[in-house]
Amino acid sequence: MNYQPPFPGELKVFSGRANPELAEKICRELGICLGKINIEDFSDGEIGLKYEDNLRGRDIFIVQPTNPPAENIIELLIMIDAASRASAKRITAVIPYYGYARQDRKAEGRVPISAKLMANLITAAGAKRVLLMDLHSGQIPGFFDETRVDHLYAKPVFMEHLKGLLPKNLVIVAPDMGAGNLARSYGKRFKCGMVIINKERPKPNKAEVFKVVGEVQNKNVLMVDDMIDTGGTLVAGIQAVKKKGAKEIFVACTHAVLSGDAVEKIISSPISGVFITDTIYLPPKKRVPRIEIISVAPLLAKAIKAIHENDSVSKLFI
């Protein structure tokens, strides 16, 4: 007897243009072909698309990180809307990198809570579920009022890759207080100590280091965080621990935004190696030897399979 999944609709995975490489890898892990969709830009800059496959009654997964440019989020919303109007049975937005996650609260007057707005738009477009990874803020799943959220962590992927790769006499460093819990969990798995860098950000994308809390002298360092954007926080933290006598310094960050001159900052810093994932497509010009990309496609494929079969996603956590 042929195996029949609990979900009645056929599993179909489609990709926007933000990261088709990742979508292709996910489909290879699932043993299926990437769904066919035609996406184009009109002469005025608007986005048009058409699904080439039949979606009626299907279980649809749309892979699209929403890093800049803003067209990526617009493209995701249009893809969800088109799938809904094509009578898809269920639509899951697979968003490896959730853009605007850092605008998650009203820290001062007259500013938006853009992370909540993005959640409202995705829900309004017709997504029934969202699959996210390493959110910048833990409260973001609560921003989705009517859409179910599965939140994955890249830590298992990093742990598997780094096992036996890092030097001994290791200490885990959190570049700020926000990464403290992440660093603590790495410390438990590697059975080593943890250090926190106390910093203040005087304005967006500018970090000022104040104090290294913990011992790093004559130790090898693994600095962990959810993302690298301009590289300012990263480099400031590296300089701080280097001044305190750290030896080799490695970095593990899930989302490689790498805006501005971030790559140049990494090249000119005393970093031995930077480990990132492919949640965001990294263009060839930014793929320098010191940066190593680890794919999260196997983890996302397992999560997609679990969602499709109405199985537990939490079993993928460690």
The domain defined by 156-294 folds into Rossmann fold (3.40.50)
Report the alpha-carbon distance of residue 181 to residue 117 in Å, rounded. 27
State pLDDT tens for residues 152-198.
999 999 999 998 899 999 999 999 888 999 999 999 999 999 999 98
Cβ 295 vs Cβ 25: under 8 Å: yes
Residue 248: count other Cβ atoms within 10 Å of its Cβ.
16
Torsion of CA 25, 26, 29, 34, to 10 degrees: -90
Interval 91-118: pLDDT, tens: 999 999 999 999 999 989 999 999 999 9
> What CATH number is given for 11-153+297-316 in this structure?
3.40.50.2020
Residue 199 designated active-site: yes
| Catalytic residue chosen out of the listed positions 12, 116, 128, 199 | 199
Name the segment(s) of the chain with CATH classification 3.40.50.2020: 11-153+297-316, 156-294
The per-residue pLDDT of the chain, averaged, comes to 93
pTM above 0.85, yes or no: yes
Which helix (H) or strand (E) segment holds residue 184: the answer is helix 180-190
206: pLDDT confidence band, cut at 50, 70 and 90?
low
> Which pLDDT score is estimated for 317?
76
Tens digit of each residue's pLDDT (9 = 90 or more) over 212-252: 999 999 999 999 999 999 998 889 899 999 999 999 999 99
Q: Which of 99, 96, 97, 136 is nearest to 117 (CA)?
A: 99
